[in-house]
Structure 1
Amino acid sequence: MNESVERVPDSTAVVVEPVPDLQLQLLIQLLDKEMRSGLPLTLTLPAGVLHGDVIGHEAWKAEWARSLRQVEGEGANLIAEFPETVDQGINELRSDEDQRQLPRWIHLRDATLVLGGSTPIGLPLWRGRLADVSGWALGRPE
């Protein structure tokens, strides 16, 4: 785990996280403005390499909701509304200053996770913490 707790002179606990790449944050913020936008991207993560189309939060949320609607069972209708319900709850808790913060999460569509020595894993949608991305490049591996 990359997080640590640091004590400051007034004995207040402060959570310290790795700093995400500013250029990647700004790229994601730009993609958040246009729901249909996406860019091929390759990420380096502690677990391996991930590549796919990076998309904005709203596009990811819409596709996640669409995939949840395909779930069958008694709670299917409830779970299909889950992404929007989560966002509404988060927005209610956030201050105006929090709303203007740079993105802390990255979302990929049609992603492939490549772990050392194993078969690549296809993922229709993926969400990860930007602070866990150690490197990135535009495009996908050839």
Structure 2
Amino acid sequence: MSATAETSPAPSAAVITEPLPDLQLQLLIQLLDEDPRSSLPLTLTHSGGILHGDVIGHEQWKAEWARSLRQVEGEGANLLAEFPETVDQGVRELRAEEDASGAARLPRWIHLRDVTLVSGAMTPVSLPLWRGRLSDVSGWALGRPQ
């Protein structure tokens, strides 16, 4: 045995990794967020298949989502009508914490209206609104399939 003991390297801190969203798509969404009336036709690929619709900004999506929640009937309908604003309040609080830490605020979510989801051999599914995580989008193109 040698006079110097071998030491193993100190354990490094755990590194959490997640897929990175496409920067150009994030910037496009950020641009759409500046004008609540704007939209663009977009086709996305993700693990569930192909999705196409009109990409819209968060505020426009939230307004349309709130409108659809107000159409729900039943005892919990009043609570649902206030839900989008409750969620946004939580998001504002998280963003305030991010601002304090100096973290960037690029969009993490994408919102589409008048959506068609095509998945394998299944019949295409039409949806009025869709929200997805940008890091789950593996490809995109302006326009819809013809």
Relative to the length of structure 2, the TM-score reads 0.86
> What is the CA-CA distance between 1:93 and the residue it aligns to?
2.8
Give, in whole Å, the separation in 2 of the partners of 1:104 and 1:80: 24
Q: SS at the partner of 1:16?
A: coil
Give, in whole Å, the separation in 2 of the partners of 1:38 and 1:71: 26
- Does 2:130 align with 1:126? yes
Larger-Rg structure: 2
> What is the CA-CA distance between 1:11 and the residue it aligns to?
5.2
Give, in whole Å, the separation in 1 of the partners of 2:70 and 2:51: 26
Q: CA RMSD in A?
A: 1.4
Deviation string, structure 1 residues 39-82 (Cα, Å, up to 9, x no partner): 00000111110000000111111110000000001111111110
- Does 2:79 align with 1:78? yes
Give, in whole Å, the separation in 1 of the partners of 2:12 and 2:83: 38
Q: Structure 1 stretches (4+) deviating beyond 6 angstroms?
A: none
Aligned residue for 2:109? 105
Count of aligned positions: 133
- Does 2:88 align with 1:87? yes
Give, in whole Å, the separation in 2 of the partners of 1:23 and 1:78: 37
Aligned residue for 2:68? 67
> What is the CA-CA distance between 1:35 and the residue it aligns to?
0.7
Q: SS at the partner of 2:16?
A: strand
> What is the CA-CA distance between 1:90 and the residue it aligns to?
1.9
Deviation string, structure 1 residues 83-108 (Cα, Å, up to 9, x no partner): 1111101211332245x510010000
Of Structure 1 and Structure 2, which has the larger fraction of its residues in strand?
A: 1
> What are the equivalent positions in structure 2 for 1:1-142 lying under 5 Å apart?
12-94=13-95, 95=97, 96=99, 97-98=102-103, 100-142=104-146
Question: Using a 3 Å threshold, how does the CA distance of structure 1 residues 89 and 115 change in structure 2: closer, same or farther?
Answer: same
Give, in whole Å, the separation in 1 of the partners of 2:113 and 2:126: 10
Give, in whole Å, the separation in 2 of the partners of 1:13 and 1:77: 44
